[in-house]
Amino acid sequence: MSRLRSGLAFLAKAWLWLAVVWVFASLLPGQPIGWAILGTLVIAIPSMLVGLYGRVIRKTKSLSVYKESGWIYRLLSGNIIGVLFWSVLGIAAAWATLLRLSLAGRNDWLFLAGTAGLYWVAYRVMNRIMSRELKREYLIGGTSLRPARYIADLRDKGLLTEKEFEAQKRRSAPASRPPAAR
């Protein structure tokens, strides 16, 4: 029952976030640039947090081999470059996502809503597998996130929005030509 409750809570939060993204994406055409900037930041925050979390896990794992008093440890333990990197990457990805979602049709949004459930199931399965395989508790969450992200991302590979699909279909349709004159 606890897993079901946590899954439903995750889906509710994901769909709430998706509704906010939908509002910003639908406001994008024809609205002041301030809405686009705010929408970009709203979309970027989860991406930045996931990237920073993964970086902290990888860094903790890699720094565990060095002595804390050594100069290599001090050099590699800095956070500013990682924070800047994930902030810039998150904002750039969010802007591209906002632009793409401003063209999305109803079916695209429904498909995206279904992806939240796929992500949760993939994360739970990977978490169960990783909890049996890894020694350290802090590694389980981060290690489970990566495959779940790739599995949920597969839904978007090669897909077009409804509007892009219709435009591509019109371009590839043979043009109707009048009969050749003799």
- C-alpha to C-alpha distance for 52 and 49, rounded to whole angstroms: 5
- C-alpha to C-alpha distance for 148 and 124, rounded to whole angstroms: 9
> pTM (2 decimals)?
0.58
Tens-digit pLDDT profile for residues 33-72: 788 888 888 888 877 887 777 777 777 777 777 788 887 7
